[in-house]
């Protein structure tokens, strides 16, 4: 049974959707400002420190639960349809996940479309992961986590790492991931009326801006089409009322067929990345607790090998 908080939030989102003006074209600047404001609406559950840094030239921020000393690190890839989102919008969410996993988080400001279409975001994610290795973090200390577009980017990053011979992190977690930019999954139609956060037409336009001149079936842009063999243990969380539900279901099937230890959790009645509302929503806190347990379990089961020599050189992704 849904909590009263979940029922209240659903009603508010439904009313907001009903009262919103008819959809127009993409207003990128407004989308960016609105997501940053939304991210700041939901405060972290615990006090945090946040420190700006550069990860191989990628503007980033360390988000550290106050008083927590840990050698575990979460590389966090934010959502925002590849054209919005920032360290500001996702600081609280990354902090809550870091606290649950007894880790620190590195949140990166990867380059955004339309100014920087594919593969800019992937290049920046790759650079940040390589920076963590260069800084002395062992792969088995690292978990990669992302939501929405950042969830798809997480799977694309892991695929790119495997293809280039880099060591895999201990685990990966994706929240409501966008893994198919062709928007061809069944839930795009089936859940269109009950998903109060994702507007299908706007997300299709966002895909066009990110892809520019490449096919939406390009594996490193839509990783549901990628060869997922060799990826680390994977936790997928998605709400039952999302248009992106089928993106998660298909990702889980393809990952398992490739031999990946993939866990799919479909949370009844939840909207897109409900984890944002952890300061209000008990289901969000429960989901984040599950994420923390998963990351801790995967990190702790790793045998600690010697760190392989750091790989160098530019990355070129096509």
Q: Which residues are catalytic?
A: 148, 242, 272
Task: State the residue for tokens 């934010």.
Answer: 78
How does DSSP assign 118-185, residue by residue? TTHHHHHHHHHHHHHHHTT--GGGEEEEEETHHHHHHHHHHHHHHHTTPPPPSEEEEES----TT--S
Residues with Cβ within 8 Å of residue 163, at least 6 apart in sequence:
none
For residue 281, how many other CB atoms are within 10 A of its CB? Answer: 22
51 DSSP β-pair partners? 62
Torsion of Cα atoms, 110 then 114 then 119 then 124, to 10°: -10
Q: In what order do the strands lie in the sheet with 58-65?
A: 48-55, 58-65, 104-108, 73-77, 142-147, 171-175, 233-239, 262-267
Residues 104 and 60 sit within 8 Å (Cβ to Cβ): no
């Amino acid at each position: 049974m849904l909590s009263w908080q979940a029922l209240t939030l659903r009603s508010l989102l439904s009313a907001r959707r009903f009262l919103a003006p008819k959809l127009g074209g993409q207003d990128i600047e407004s989308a960016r400002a609105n997501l940053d404001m939304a991210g700041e609406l939901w405060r972290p559950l615990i006090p945090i420190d946040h420190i700006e840094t550069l990860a191989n030239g990628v503007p980033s921020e360390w988000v550290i639960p106050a008083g927590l000393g840990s050698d575990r690190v979460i590389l966090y890839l934010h959502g925002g349809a590849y054209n919005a989102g920032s360290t500001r919008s996702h600081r609280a969410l990354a902090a809550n996940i870091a606290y649950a996993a007894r880790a620190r988080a590195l949140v990166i400001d990867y380059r955004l479309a339309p100014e920087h279409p594919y593969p800019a975001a992937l290049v920046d994610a790759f650079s940040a992961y390589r920076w963590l290795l260069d800084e002395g973090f062992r792969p088995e200390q690292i978990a990669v986590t992302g939501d929405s577009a950042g969830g798809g980017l997480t799977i694309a990053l892991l695929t790119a790492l495997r293809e280039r011979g880099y060591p895999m992190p201990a685990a990966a977690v994706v929240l409501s991931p966008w893994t198919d930019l062709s928007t061809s999954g069944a839930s795009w139609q089936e859940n269109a009326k009950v998903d109060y956060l994702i507007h299908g037409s706007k997300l299709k336009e966002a895909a066009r801006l990110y892809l520019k001149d490449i096919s939406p079936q390009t594996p490193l842009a839509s990783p549901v089409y990628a060869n997922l063999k060799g990826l680390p243990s994977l936790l997928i969380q998605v709400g039952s009322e999302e248009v992106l539900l089928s993106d998660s279901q298909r990702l889980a099937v393809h990952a398992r067929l490739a031999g990946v230890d993939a866990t799919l959790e479909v949370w009844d009645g939840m909207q897109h990345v409900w984890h944002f509302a952890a300061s209000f929503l008990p289901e969000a806190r429960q989901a984040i607790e599950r994420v923390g347990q998963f990351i801790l379990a995967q990190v702790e089961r790793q045998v600690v090998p010697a760190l392989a020599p750091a790989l160098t050189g530019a990355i070129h992704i096509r």
